[in-house]
């Protein structure tokens, strides 16, 4: 499989791992993130995997929505076109069980949801016009239900899921595929130090699974797949019971 891919949030975690998988499959990739030093490391690794100059880097903070239009146009020109878009940017600051911090909540919503919306709007117009393309949003099982731990994070991922679903329905007549990925626990900086995690898999393993779902243009997929059963149970727990559960 070959093509061109734009990955937002490519400096670490799933985004960085997915970049390596895609260049290994023959893609040229545009890597976008806030940290230039990390981006350069990922780019070098991608080029080593591909055996050629397969990666380009662009420094951008997804909270700066006004930069998106010009940067997106530049990236498409540099790549010579675009057929795959991945939004993998995400943050989850430490939040105590009795902490209510509007600044942290705003950061979570800006990066996990509004940054995604800004980029997806630009990509949707491009893919609709050219009548092909695959959009992949890295969401989370956290979006399935509002739990105690991180209210803003659960809300952001739920909003992201719904936005992706709407895009899927809106873009379907134009032969554009929208893939929603809902990972469980992945061994990344976001999960470091968190207690009570299980079924943890590496970012590299997750990336290989995600690349398969992108290739097959699946709609909604849990990574790994066994989280689907957990999500089904969680979604169907009655509220009067769920509010008493420390999950």
CA triple 136-223-219, angle to 5 deg = 40
Q: Summarize the confidence of residues 194-200 as an average pLDDT.
A: 79
As annotated, the active-site residues are: 153
Q: Summarize the confidence of residues 164-184 as an average pLDDT.
A: 98
Q: Which of 219, 221, 183, 200 is nearest to 88 (CA)?
A: 183
Q: Summarize the confidence of residues 150-164 as an average pLDDT.
A: 98
Q: Which residues contact 159 (CB under 8 A, 6 or more apart)?
A: 113, 143
pLDDT > 70? residue 1: no
pLDDT digits over 50-65, tens only? 999 999 999 999 999 9
pLDDT digits over 21-41, tens only? 999 999 999 999 999 999 999
pLDDT digits over 224-239, tens only? 999 999 999 999 999 9
Other C-beta atoms closer than 10 Å to the C-beta of 130 total 14
Residue 29 phi/psi, 5-degree rounding, is -125, 145
pLDDT > 70? residue 114: yes
Q: What is the CATH number of domain 3-242?
A: 3.40.50.720
pLDDT at 235: 92
Q: What is the pTM of this model?
A: 0.94
CA distance 65 to 75: 16
């Amino acid at each position: 499989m070959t093509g061109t891919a734009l990955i937002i949030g490519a400096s670490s975690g799933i985004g960085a791992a997915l970049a390596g998988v895609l260049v290994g499959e023959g893609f040229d990739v545009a890597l976008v993130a806030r940290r230039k030093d990390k981006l350069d490391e990922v780019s070098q690794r991608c080029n080593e995997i591909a055996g050629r100059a397969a990666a380009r880097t662009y420094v951008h903070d997804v909270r700066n929505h006004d930069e998106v239009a010009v940067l997106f146009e530049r990236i498409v020109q540099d790549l010579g076109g675009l057929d795959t878009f991945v939004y993998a940017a995400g943050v989850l600051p430490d939040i105590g069980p009795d902490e209510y911090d509007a600044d942290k909540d705003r950061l979570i919503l800006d990066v996990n949801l509004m940054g995604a919306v800004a980029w997806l709007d630009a990509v949707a117009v491009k893919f609709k016009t050219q009548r092909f393309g695959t959009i992949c949003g890295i969401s989370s099982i956290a979006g399935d239900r509002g739990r105690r731990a991180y209210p803003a994070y659960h809300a952001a991922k739920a909003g992201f899921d719904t936005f992706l679903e709407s895009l899927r329905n809106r873009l379907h007549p134009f032969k554009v595929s929208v893939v929603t990925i809902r990972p469980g626990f992945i061994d990344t900086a976001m999960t470091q130090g968190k207690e009570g995690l299980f079924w943890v898999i590496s970012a590299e393993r997750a990336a290989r699974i995600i690349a398969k779902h992108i290739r097959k243009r699946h709609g909604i997929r849990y990574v790994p797949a066994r989280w689907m059963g957990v999500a089904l149970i969680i979604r169907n727990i009655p509220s009067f019971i769920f509010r008493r559960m420390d999950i």
